Amino acid sequence: MPDVLLIGNNLSVLVAAAELGAAGRQVVLVTDGRPAGGHFRGLRLEGIDIDIGMVLLEQGGDPLSSGAVPELAGYRPRVRYDWTRFGPLVDDWLRAQVDMVRTPTPEVVMDGRRWPDHLIADRLDVLASGELTAPQPLPRTDPRHAAAKVDSSAYDTMTYAEAAELNHGVDVQRRLITPFAEKLLGSAHSALLARYHRSAWLPLYWPETVTAAVQGRPPGLTEHPFWTTASGFVGDLVHSLERRVAGFDRVTVDGTEVDSVTPVDGRWEVRTKGGGRWVAAAPVVGLGPARVQSLLGLPTSEREPGASVVAVCCLVRGAAIIHPAGCLSVVDPAYTTYRLTDQDALAGLDPQWHRVVVEAGPAAAARMAAGEDVEAALVAELARLLGVDGSVDGDVRALKTLTARNAVAVPTVGSLAADAEAHDALQDAWPSAVLTGNLLGFGATSMNDQVVQGLAAAQQLR
């Protein structure tokens, strides 16, 4: 019987496997027939490593020597942004896994013009264009003020559309942000809860900040920085962890599908279709909710649909790119595309062929389902955004088009209630399990949240 049993393929269990292996524990990792690392693993197409859309690294604090970090046991997955309390720990851990480089400032496209990004990078240059109206004043004591979004009960039910128009003003919100939200989320954008705005890469600034920017005064924000790996492929993090895990004699990886999960004498027995039989008292679980419910014979909870995504993974001849961009969010409604990511430009690389992914939302997915050639349309938009001469054959090669139904979760009042009910039922049925990833709720699936979860699980079971 292993010291620790890890079940699933998300990033959390892979982090835990690497940390427990380094501590000399006997570990079994059962990936349920799926590649380890989940979404963060990326793809390998024609021998080329490509991240699936925009995948960036974030750092959360100064090096560990600068101050105390809370105990990992105190991590609160249902509190938005709780990983930031452990920022210095996450920073040091990431730097130990991969070589990191800071990316250029992300940009946005509006009305055919590029600006520094105001959606994710906190660059509010576009607000000082002289054409926008500031929001109405809102006292800091008002529970609807953006400063209260984490703790105020008003944010338990307030939608992003309501909170953003109140804090940003109708003019700023509808011109600079809503077109992007509509492209990304479709009709679901109006139901997204404000507290979860970052799940859709949407900002929620204080009204005082927006007013200062509109009036041309310093808004009091510094640019939010992002990093990538030296190779430009963030999936290197997953591959680095896999290599670490493979180097430990006391870590076994069972890559076959789970066949059954059964309670036996106060412990849990996991059998796999490859013939594995593993027993543990407190397994760490990193599977999806529906998969766990199926294995345990629980009713499958119906989650509200999310936003579907179409992503076209391309190679673009570097010499043909006239208007380079690392990360480009497209607010301009003239485009179906909502984001373009050149992972080589993000890393400061200029190879002969750049790895570029262009993404579009539910409208594109619906058109694709209806039989339209959406890939060609998105490739044409990619060429237009990068200034590639569309008349030259061979400058852009589409390697693969992915369609992911409900890929972007849209937290709503109803979905959070259903999620909490399913979580409670799971804990009742599997009380000893250490849950990770989306088994902990909507706010616990970011890369850094999963790093914290993996480190916490390893510390608990070490």
Rounded CA-CA distance 425/18 in Å is: 30
- Residues 419, 403, single domain; the answer is no
Helices (H), 286-373: 289-296, 343-346, 362-369
- Residues 318, 399, single domain; the answer is yes
Report residue 198's pLDDT band, with 50, 70 and 90 as the boundaries. Answer: very high
Report the pLDDT averaged over residues 190-213: 96
> Which of 370, 386, 408 corresponds to the end of one domain?
408
pTM of the model: 0.94
**How far, in Å, are 11, 17, 150, 274, 457 from residue 285 at the CA level?**
11, 12, 27, 19, 10
Rounded CA-CA distance 194/196 in Å is: 5
Rounded CA-CA distance 77/114 in Å is: 36
Let me know if residue 110 belongs to a domain.
no
Report the pLDDT averaged over residues 400-410: 93
Asked if the model's pLDDT at residue 67 lies above 80, the reply is no
Asked if the model's pLDDT at residue 418 lies above 60, the reply is yes
Report the pLDDT averaged over residues 219-244: 97
Let me know if residue 106 belongs to a domain.
no
Report residue 79's pLDDT band, with 50, 70 and 90 as the boundaries. Answer: confident
Number of domains in the chain: 3
Report the pLDDT averaged over residues 220-244: 97
Q: Is 122 helix (H, G, I), strand (E, B) or coil?
A: coil
Q: CATH code at 331? A: 3.90.660.10
Going by C-alpha positions, the residue among 411, 319, 102 that lies closest to residue 232 is 102
441 compared with 86, residue with greater pLDDT: 86
Query: Do you know the residue count of the chain?
Result: 462
Let me know if residue 428 belongs to a domain.
yes
Helix (H) / strand (E) element for 173: namely: helix 170-176
Cβ(13)–Cβ(284) below 8 Å: yes
pLDDT, residue 305, reads 79
- Residues 298, 356, single domain; the answer is no
pLDDT, residue 69, reads 82
Residues with Cβ within 8 Å of 238's Cβ and at least 6 positions away in sequence, in order, are: 11, 14, 36, 37, 40, 41, 42
- Residues 264, 278, single domain; the answer is yes
Query: What is the b/e burial string over 391-416, where b = at least 16 CB atoms within 10 angstroms of the residue's CB?
Result: eeeebbeeeebeebebbbbbbbeebb
Cβ(75)–Cβ(82) below 8 Å: yes
What count of other Cβ atoms lies within 10 Å of the Cβ of residue 295?
19
Percentage of residues of the chain with pLDDT beyond 70: 98
Cβ(216)–Cβ(126) below 8 Å: no
Query: What is the b/e burial string over 34-56, where b = at least 16 CB atoms within 10 angstroms of the residue's CB?
Result: bebbbbbbbbeeeeebbbbbbbb
Rounded CA-CA distance 251/22 in Å is: 10
Rounded CA-CA distance 163/140 in Å is: 14
Let me know if residue 13 belongs to a domain.
yes
- Residues 456, 376, single domain; the answer is no
Report residue 65's pLDDT band, with 50, 70 and 90 as the boundaries. Answer: very low
The pLDDT tens digits for 309-347 are: 999 999 999 999 999 999 999 999 999 999 999 999 999
Rounded CA-CA distance 248/14 in Å is: 13
Report residue 391's pLDDT band, with 50, 70 and 90 as the boundaries. Answer: low
Let me know if residue 12 belongs to a domain.
yes
Rounded CA-CA distance 75/452 in Å is: 8
Report the pLDDT averaged over residues 188-207: 95
- Residues 11, 48, single domain; the answer is yes
The pLDDT tens digits for 107-150 are: 999 999 999 999 999 999 999 987 899 999 999 999 999 999 98
- Residues 312, 402, single domain; the answer is yes
> Which of 214, 244, 275 corresponds to the end of one domain?
214
Q: Which range among 171-185, 218-232, 435-449 shows the weakest confidence by mean pLDDT?
A: 435-449
Q: Is residue 318 exposed (0-12), middle (13-18) or buried (19+ Cβ within 10 Å)?
A: middle
Asked if the model's pLDDT at residue 62 lies above 70, the reply is no
Report residue 193's pLDDT band, with 50, 70 and 90 as the boundaries. Answer: very high
Let me know if residue 115 belongs to a domain.
no
- Residues 312, 403, single domain; the answer is yes
Q: What is the CA radius of gyration of the chain?
A: 23
Residues with Cβ within 8 Å of 300's Cβ and at least 6 positions away in sequence, in order, are: 290, 293, 294
Asked if the model's pLDDT at residue 39 lies above 70, the reply is yes
- Residues 415, 291, single domain; the answer is yes
Asked if the model's pLDDT at residue 402 lies above 60, the reply is yes
Q: CATH code at 75? A: 3.50.50.60
- Residues 167, 81, single domain; the answer is no
Report the pLDDT averaged over residues 433-459: 93
Report residue 61's pLDDT band, with 50, 70 and 90 as the boundaries. Answer: low
Let me know if residue 104 belongs to a domain.
no
283: Cα within 13 Å, side-chain hemisphere: 26
- Residues 418, 455, single domain; the answer is yes
Let me know if residue 322 belongs to a domain.
yes
- Residues 191, 245, single domain; the answer is no
Identify any residues that bridge with 43 across adjacent strands, giving them in sequence order. 50
Structural domain harbouring 152: 124-214
